[in-house]
Structure 1
């Protein structure tokens, strides 16, 4: 039967909660453990592992970001190559900012994850558990899709494009081995062995961290949003049972049942507000950064197409698809939460409310009023994360791409 709001000290009512939690969080936990964001209750020397991971990750990202800036500022004179390095620096900076935002919100992330754990522990009805598993599976699959597109897109960049470019001969007849992240030569000679090999391995690790941040941010949004959607479905099932009270405590009258539903609803609203606070900076950086990165990638595809660089076109197209798809998934997650939370009001209208006492009916009206302001994710509290927003930004990107094509065509004609 449905029970009143519980606290974290209550005994688990779901005998399968450990298996359910592992099923829902398995892949996201692995991803965020790489960068030390997932809250772990470790003992002994193991409790220092997340901090060590964060220090090393920050060092690598900041080091290569500074190297890119120094190389563009003091060494690189070719405007075309500067544009390519600028896109890479922009992507790295966005990922670094998202990383810092998650580090600042780590305590709130821990609180939200504990709330997820508590809900899985305290679910009692098999029908409610089935509803939660339905959306838990959606969040799990979205995390997998984000990770696949994030990692696969940049594998092309650090492997195929790396070896397709190969080595070059400079004006002094010296062999120059190319690195995807340009290094400032004033610090050390990266062309010497084993410095080149060490730097290349570190760049691969830095790329792994960048992709992990992209997948981790999207995965966190997927976990929290789909969990809230599952809880909303549980609330809707409670509303369907409000009149009959078959699955509530037999001693509960309609007012007691409505009180429990409102308490549950308020708890989910507070959870959603906390999640929005956790992710608002991350979504802002993701939204703005992805817009600039996609414009850069479109430009790279156009120029490589004109130069008949097939490897470059394939690589940048793969990265473009990866970035666009991950942004689409983030907007889909936000849209799913908006749509599902608005359905609570619809569910209130569909019950046999005329069979309820007048006082209980007035309480149902308040739930309908609350559902008129659905739960939302925002990008820095500026724009809502939804499919409509993705469509608007997509139109903007398309317009920028067409403008870039016209400008490049005009420059080719003039030359």
Structure 2
């Protein structure tokens, strides 16, 4: 992939920018490239590959979703099993919505990646590079944590539910004396006989693909938020370091006046705030579906764990516990990222107050007041501009899920 750069940028000042960019974006590229969301520069027939991948994955998700819906509407009568299939339906539906949101914002994602590339290319001082790399490493770790938890949860469902359950209940036969082969998701038997080969193998492959895409969309969205937000935090640290150096100018270019240093600080701060606003635009729909969808899905997974615990179903309890852990942790990461952005963006004003501002000219002090005023309205990530993502909102998700859990247990039992 060729780096996206702003046209107003000259030759790169950071000789290590290629290595730095690869380091902070590697895991995001792996996940989002497989979904066709990460912008790539391909020629010839290859430029259609992302569109083909997006179209194929949408068809698979819709096909599996409709199978589950038809099964619940026409075949399933057990209320507990209906609730279990309802959790699968919600998870697939939310994944489709998040996938659509990511693909609809692909051009904005490309712009943000271009801004990120340009910022890394124009790192002028080694001190600034260290500050950016500090948060670049944090974003890389958060992306890895999200991917590991989501893929481990999905893998546990694929292996434990499909294979272990099949061996554990291998004596299960239907009225026609046929051994029933397990699948990840229920199917609508009126369309075809899923127990015949190769229909069973094809359905299992499609369901595994559906599980991979669903997990990748969740991990990719969280990784993208971590990449962009930690980059903003690194830029804010650079701004704060320049504010601390505003009076003495030890780390600035030679022969720069106080006003020139202040102008550079304000320009850098405004550019960072604009980038934060673009991040909000990219992530607001994804975070909306993730926030409200996770609340309901976490509630259902909690109910599944209680039911399997009461029925002494160790395999089901293990599977749903891992899924519950992965989804809860991923929601926690998103809220932590949002809380980090709020906290960091308010620190600019605090830094302005902590320097020896009394040594500055009166006009410069007045200009700093404007910087403080901008930091009093911190940058945020919101769920559809309804709920700001923070650690407090994560607590609200858990409280709401427990409230729904009590309602479901009272209604079903």
TM-score by length of 2: 0.95
Query: Is residue 2:84 matched to residue 1:84?
Result: yes
In structure 1, distance between residues paired with 2:391 and 2:362: 39
Deviation at 1:180, TM superposition (A): 1.7
Structure 1: distance between partners of 2:269 and 2:47: 36
Which position in structure 1 is the counterpart of 2:382?
A: 378
- For 2:338, which of 334, 337, 347 is the aligned residue? 334
User: 1:322 offset after TM fit, Å?
Assistant: 0.5
Match of 1:205 in 2: 209
Structure-2 separation of matches of 1:373 and 1:65 = 42
Give the structure 2 partner of residue 387 of structure 1: 391
1:78-121: CA deviation from partner (whole Å, max 9, x where unpaired): 22211111100100100110000001100000000000000000
Measure how far apart 1:141 and its partner are: 0.3
Match in the other structure for 2:360: 356
Inter-partner Cα distance in structure 1 for 2:95 and 2:408: 25
Q: Report if the CA contact (8 A) 2:300-2:405 is conserved.
A: no
Q: How far off its partner does 1:231 sit?
A: 0.1
Pick from 246, 250, 253: which aligns with 1:249?
Answer: 253
User: Which consecutive residues of structure 1, in runs of 5 or more, have no partner in the other structure?
Assistant: 1-5
Instruction: After superposing the two structures, state which structure 1 stretch, 117-126 or 384-393, moved more.
Output: 384-393
Structure 1 residue 7: Cα displacement: 5.2
Q: Structure 1 stretch 298-307 or stretch 175-184: which is displaced more?
A: 175-184
Taking the aligned partners of 2:411 and 2:100, their CA distance within structure 1 comes to 37
User: Are 2:242 and 1:238 equivalent residues in the alignment?
Assistant: yes
Quick one: distance in 1 between partners of 2:400 and 2:106? 34
2:110 equivalent in structure 1: 110
Segments of 4+ moved more than 4 angstroms:
402-408
Q: Which residue of 2 aligns with 1:3?
A: none
Q: Which residue of 2 aligns with 1:56?
A: 56
**Contact conserved, 2:61 with 2:96, CA < 8 A, in 1?**
yes
Residue equivalent to 1:223: 227
C-alpha contact 1:254 1:356 (8 A) present in aligned 2? no
Q: What is the Cα deviation at residue 283 of structure 1?
A: 0.2
> Displacement of 1:406 after TM fit?
5.7
Aligned 8 A contact 1:302 1:405 in 2 = no
| Structure 1 range deviating more: 220-229 or 170-179 | 170-179
CA distance in 1, matches of 2:401, 2:66: 28
Name the structure 1 match of 2:323.
319
Say whether the 8 Å CA contact 2:305–2:320 is kept in structure 1: yes
Residue 71 of structure 2 contacts residue 186 of structure 2 at CA under 8 Å; is this kept in 1?
yes
Query: In structure 1, what is the equivalent of residue 3 of structure 2?
Result: none
TM superposition shift of 1:336: 0.5
Aligned to 2:348: 344
Query: Does structure 1 retain, via aligned residues, the 8 Å contact 2:9–2:118?
Result: no
CA–CA separation in structure 1 for the residues paired with 2:49 and 2:407? 48
Is contact 2:246-2:261 (8 Å) kept?
yes
Determine helix, strand or coil for the equivalent of 2:327.
helix
Per-residue CA deviation, residues 197-230 of structure 1 (Å, 9 max, x unaligned), is 1111121111111110010000000000000000
- Mapped to 2, the partners of 1:182 and 1:281 lie a distance apart of 29
Cα distance between partner residues in 2 of 1:8 and 1:114: 12
Q: Distance in 1 between matches of 2:37 and 2:260?
A: 40
Q: Is the 8 A contact 1:284 1:379 kept in 2?
A: yes
The 2-side partners of 1:46 and 1:315 are apart by 39
Which whole-Å CA distance do the structure 2 matches of 1:392 and 1:37 have between them?
31
- Kindly report the root-mean-square deviation, in angstroms, between the aligned alpha carbons of the 2 structures: 1.4
Stretch deviating more after TM superposition (36-45 or 279-288): 36-45
Correspondence for 2:302:
298
How many Å separate the matches in 2 of 1:398 and 1:83? 16
Cα distance in 2, alignment partners of residues 374 and 215 from structure 1: 26
Please point out which of 267, 271, 294 is paired with 1:267: 271
